[in-house]
A = this chain, B = another copy of it.
């Protein structure tokens, strides 16, 4: 059953900026269908020219770059509302891969209609640029994190960032949210070895800061976590456009 943009459950959430009815109608035309993928599927391959672009409706995923020697750098996690494939649409090819960690439902757009969006809907073009600029900002933060923080701080910071996003999406219940990734995924995101990630998680657990187990992140002390992460406790997710 295909959801109409008008009644899209994501669109109602306050994290997403509101559109006028005519704007929603345009997006509806832009949308060409829905895609369901199972856990583990690769949505986009580094170097490929995907003919399709997606907005995540449900499920979680990972963006990553493959490196020499078989290891990879996780760029960030993909949550509902995220737009996937902008690079393939704007540049020629994807510069990273995208993988579904859980089963996912995606809203599908056709890449060849992207230009009409720039021509006829400058507001949406602006939104796309906004998304790219925000992504750039987030990567800048991640870079600073890898460059200047130790393992404990990195993990704490990752948890805070994820928690803020999860909260904005309504995924958090009593301080806990689903986080169905592997320790290896986190290690690959933070530039740490699996072993060291594991030991650092243990420390956070024993210090009563946060417990991440069985795919659920449970924040025991948001204050302590933020202190370690060097982040203000009042951080909120910024409202973002939903494409």
Flag if A126 contacts B125 (CB, 8 Å): yes
Closest B residue to A132 using CB positions: B132
Q: Which of A95, A136, A190 has the most CB of B within 10 A?
A: A136
Flag if A118 contacts B128 (CB, 8 Å): no
Flag if A191 contacts B148 (CB, 8 Å): yes
Closest B residue to A189 using CB positions: B147
Flag if A91 contacts B146 (CB, 8 Å): no
Question: Does A171 have its Cβ within 8 Å of any Cβ on chain B?
Answer: no
Report the Cα distance A103→B65, complex, angstroms: 37
Residues of B within 8 A of A125 (CB): 118, 122, 125-126, 129
Question: Does A67 have its Cβ within 8 Å of any Cβ on chain B?
Answer: yes
Report the Cα distance A148→B135, complex, angstroms: 21
User: Residues 71-99 of chain A: 1 if any B CB is under 8 Å from the residue's CB, otherwise 0?
Assistant: 10101000000000011001100011000
Q: Which of A17-25, A48-56, A137-145, A199-207 has 4 or more CB atoms under 8 Å from chain B?
A: A137-145
* Total chain A interface residues with beta-carbon distance under 8 A: 40
Residues of B within 8 A of A71 (CB): 148
User: Residues 115-137 of chain A: 1 if any B CB is under 8 Å from the residue's CB, otherwise 0?
Assistant: 10011001001101110111111
On whether A133 and B132 interact (CB within 8 A), knowing A125-B122, A191-B147, the answer reads yes
Copy total for this chain: 2
Nearest CB of chain B from residue A93's CB, rounded to whole Å: 10
Closest B residue to A123 using CB positions: B118
Flag if B73 contacts A137 (CB, 8 Å): no
Residues of B within 8 A of A191 (CB): 146-148
Flag if A143 contacts B144 (CB, 8 Å): no
Closest B residue to A125 using CB positions: B125
Closest B residue to A134 using CB positions: B91
Nearest CB of chain B from residue A235's CB, rounded to whole Å: 14
- Kindly list the 6 A-B residue pairs having the minimum CB-CB distance in the complex, ordered from nearest: A147-B191, A132-B132, A73-B144, A139-B139, A146-B146, A118-B122
